[in-house]
Amino acid sequence: METGTTYQNYLQTMQNYQLSNGRKEYQAPYAQKFEVIFNKAQEADIKLSNAKEFLHSLSPAELTTLQKYSGLADKIDINSLSNEGAYNLLMHDNQQFDFNNDGTAEVGAAKRMLAVPINMPQDVKDAYISAMNSLSDKDKMTAMILTFDTARLNSVINNKPYTPVKMDYEYLSTQVQNHLNPTNGAYTSDEAKASITAFWNAFNAAYKGEKLQADNSNEQSSDVSKFLKDLHTKGAAQFLADLNTEKIEKQAQEYKDKLIKELGDSPENMNKIEKLVADFKKKLLEEMQNSLDNDKKTVPINANELAQIILDTQHKKTRPLEELLALL
């Protein structure tokens, strides 16, 4: 099998892509015989350079199996095939690739769009696959029009070099809007709109969910690092005292905001509110001191144990903890 980095990364991504039920049902009668051929090809260390040679070693029945499994209309004429067309014949659907970067994957004599375009950023690929896997066959087929590469069509019609279009989030968003709100005489059926909407909702859920998760992870890592740094610098007792003080200030501010909302912010009322807030903070401080006095009677706090408990409770990453422990 080809070992180029771009191809291997694509294979890794495509492991998560699920073929349509219709495609799997079509291939089912030929699947077992195809796997025998596929395994032979792997044993022969099949590559672009020797794929045609390997095809010449197969029997007419085996070539028919490849033809049927791949869904080709005509019998396979090995001598007319390109190296890419020969190689992709020997691969599963999710392993086929556009090696010459002309916008299509040659499979035998056929030229086909890849199920997941190469020219997508990785985060878009991942969300796209997640969305497509969630759709019915009908919705999946309809949604594929969103990634129809017009640059390839322009290349063929105008006999120009093919220049890939970057199919990022903005590109897909534009395609979706063009189909949902067609202009200049264009038309999209209600059924197609429903399929595209189903895809777009699923895509956004996956894409934005992954972005949110990554952002939260970075934010949490920063929070944990700060927590551990403070814990190491101040010591557990002082850290907890500062933490409680921050909580008191927050509660006092919330109490003050509530009083202003209830009583108004006239000068007379503000003087009254300031006094009430001061009394409130005094009460909270007394409660905190009583709590700390009681804690002194119990087992002393161990900084490492405290850090581990909090990290485990919040399901944080362990890297910041490891950094702290390296300092202790």
DSSP state letter for 30: H
Query: Rounded CA gap, 206 and 281, in Å?
Result: 45
Q: Count CB atoms within 10 A of the CB of residue 42.
A: 11
Q: Residue 213: what pLDDT?
A: 53
Give the distance, in angstroms, between the CA of residue 121 and the centroid of all CA atoms in the same chain. Answer: 10
Query: Rounded CA gap, 156 and 162, in Å?
Result: 8
Query: Rounded CA gap, 246 and 288, in Å?
Result: 12
How many angstroms separate the Cα of 52 from the Cα of each of 30, 74, 83, 101, 109? 21, 17, 7, 20, 13
Q: Residue 285: what pLDDT?
A: 73
The tokens describing 266, both together, are: 């006239």
Query: Rounded CA gap, 105 and 103, in Å?
Result: 7
Q: Residue 328: what pLDDT?
A: 45
Residue 90 makes CB contacts below 8 A (sequence gap 6+) with 37, 38, 41, 46, 51, 54, 55, 66
pLDDT in tens for each of the 328 residues of the chain?
888 999 999 999 999 999 999 999 999 999 999 999 999 999 999 999 999 999 999 999 999 999 999 999 999 999 999 999 999 999 999 999 999 999 999 999 999 999 999 999 999 999 999 999 999 999 999 999 999 888 888 888 888 888 889 999 999 999 999 999 999 888 999 999 999 999 999 999 999 886 555 555 555 555 545 554 554 455 555 555 555 666 777 888 888 888 888 888 877 788 888 888 888 878 877 776 666 555 544 444 444 444 454 445 444 444 544 444 444 4
User: How much is the pTM?
Assistant: 0.63
| Residue boundaries of the structural domains of the chain | 5-112, 122-209, 214-327
Q: Residue 230: what pLDDT?
A: 53
Q: Residue 286: what pLDDT?
A: 73
Query: Rounded CA gap, 298 and 304, in Å?
Result: 17
Q: Which residue has the tokens 């909407």?
A: 197
Q: Count CB atoms within 10 A of the CB of residue 147.
A: 20
Query: Rounded CA gap, 83 and 48, in Å?
Result: 5
